[in-house]
Amino acid sequence: MANLTSTFVGIKSPNPFWLASAPPTDKEYNVRRAFEAGWGGVVWKTLGEDGPPVVNVNGPRYGAIWGADRRLLGLNNIELITDRPLEVNLQEIKAVKRDYPDRAVVVSLMVPCVEEAWKKILPLVEETGADGIELNCGCPHGMSERGMGSAVGQAPDLIEAITRWCKQTTRMPVIVKLTPNITDIRGPAQAAKRGGADAVSLINTINSITSVNLDTFAPEPTIDGWGAHGGYCGPAVKPIALNMVAEIARDPETAGLPISGIGGVNTWRDAAEFLALGAGNVQVCTAAMTYGFKIVQEMISGLSDWMDKAGHSSVEEVVGRAVPNVKNWQDLNLNYITKARIDQEACIKCGRCYAACEDTSHQAISMSPDRVFEVKDDECVACNLCVNVCPVEGCITMEELSPGAIDERTGKVVEKDYANWTTHPNNPMKVPAE
């Protein structure tokens, strides 16, 4: 049996599935239900300084993007950090950690960029027995306008300073949560490492407006006729999150820095992909908010079954396995050639592949009068569009061909052969040698 036990920056949990800092981790009641359902850990919803209370909106806090089948693809939220008193949160964290010593309890924090503010709150959190802290440098709405959240995450010097203040003050592991609302994620990650961070977590939510009500002309969610930008999360952000995790994992300056992967983890497969690209564990929010806490049971069983079948005995064996296979574009093999192949027995003759290729691609699929679709190898550039638009899984596939080989279907030589190509000094793309 695969061992799903996770040790992340010294924090042990029975599995690598943690709940992210968000509404599901805002209070003791929720967290206890989560642990009873099987979650390996939680990051408690972000605490702020002990001062004037945080005031959240009392109207709709979430906007949504759905697929054609009403499946939730993304949420936009305009909720702020916890609006519950600091002392109440601290008491509840202490009680939960006491009763669930085998689960990870990490506390998310966000206070002003003043050293004394951080030094004041850290001993209070440490006294609860929490396993670690996560510095919220990612929230893109509400708090960022106050100079916190993503306003810090977009300023590497502030990330480095805050991280250093925390490392000098607390015994707890320090995880820095990064914002995706930046051009290059590597800079903030490098800053966190310079400050002494034990790990980074990413991504936080993406700045967004999900929709506009065309009757009132106000962004949604709408508060008294007005709307605001919020943070976007859910399955739709997973590709962005995977790329940013991989960028940090393969950057020589941050290689080896532990990563907690966040963003669109909806299934065990999503989690496995994050692990393969360098994440040591994953954090989940939208899936739990969509399906309830017991979704973790499917994630645990699915990941365990896959690991057993693949021969992976521990989570650590999976972490980073895909990182060496991530390359810059100019390092890809231009000698690699594939052509589309259509399984005529599986084809339902819908014509979507033909329409997509004929109208928007390379006119590489023919259609006979009786609606038989075939690939024209001379025109096919293997773009994969036909595979992606075909509604029948496995009906269209890509067949690898060797450069210079005879294509048995056409009897022609596969013409592309870049064996003698080189790199032009003024162009990172591959160009023919002179």
Q: pLDDT tens for residues 105-122?
A: 999 999 988 999 999 999
Q: What's the confidence (pLDDT) of residue 195?
A: 97
Instruction: Give me the chain's average pLDDT, please.
Output: 91
State the pLDDT confidence band at 426, using cuts at 50, 70 and 90: very low
Q: How far is CA 207 from the centre of its chain?
A: 15
**Range with lowest mean pLDDT among 149-153, 157-161, 187-191, 253-257:** 149-153
Asked if omega into 239 is within 30° of 0 (cis), the reply is: no
Q: What's the confidence (pLDDT) of residue 424?
A: 44
Q: What's the confidence (pLDDT) of residue 319?
A: 98
**Range with lowest mean pLDDT among 75-79, 389-393, 395-399:** 75-79
Global confidence as pTM:
0.90
Q: What's the confidence (pLDDT) of residue 148?
A: 73
Domains of the chain, start order: 6-325 (3.20.20.70), 329-432 (3.30.70.20)
- Which of helix, strand or coil describes residue 240? helix
Cα dihedral sign, 28-29-35-41: negative
DSSP class of residue 54? P
Q: What's the confidence (pLDDT) of residue 250?
A: 97
Residue in the structure block whose two tokens are 């056409």: 410
From CA 366, how far away is CA 373, in angstroms rounded? 6
Strands 17-19 and 41-47: parallel
Residue in the structure block whose two tokens are 């679709």: 373
Structural contact between residues 130 and 164, judged by C-beta atoms closer than 8 angstroms: no
Q: pLDDT tens for residues 200-246?
A: 999 999 999 999 999 999 998 888 888 888 889 999 999 999 999 99
pLDDT over threshold 60, residue 42: yes
Q: What's the confidence (pLDDT) of residue 428?
A: 47
From CA 206, how far away is CA 247, in angstroms rounded? 17
- DSSP line for 284-313: E-HHHHHH-TTHHHHHHHHHHHHHHHHT--
pLDDT over threshold 80, residue 129: yes
Q: pLDDT tens for residues 361-370?
A: 999 999 999 9
pLDDT over threshold 70, residue 47: yes
Structural contact between residues 362 and 379, judged by C-beta atoms closer than 8 angstroms: yes
Structural contact between residues 207 and 150, judged by C-beta atoms closer than 8 angstroms: yes
Residue in the structure block whose two tokens are 């940090």: 248
State the pLDDT confidence band at 1, using cuts at 50, 70 and 90: confident
Q: At what angle do helices 268-276 and 295-310 cross, to 10 degrees?
A: 50
Residues taking part in catalysis: 139
How large is the average pLDDT for residues 314-326?
97
pLDDT over threshold 90, residue 41: yes
Q: What's the confidence (pLDDT) of residue 416?
A: 55
Tokens at 112, concatenated: 């002003």
* Paired residues of 147 in beta bridges: none
How many residues are listed for the chain in this entry?
434
From CA 204, how far away is CA 302, in angstroms rounded? 25
> 331 or 148, which is more confident?
331
Tokens at 181, concatenated: 């609302």
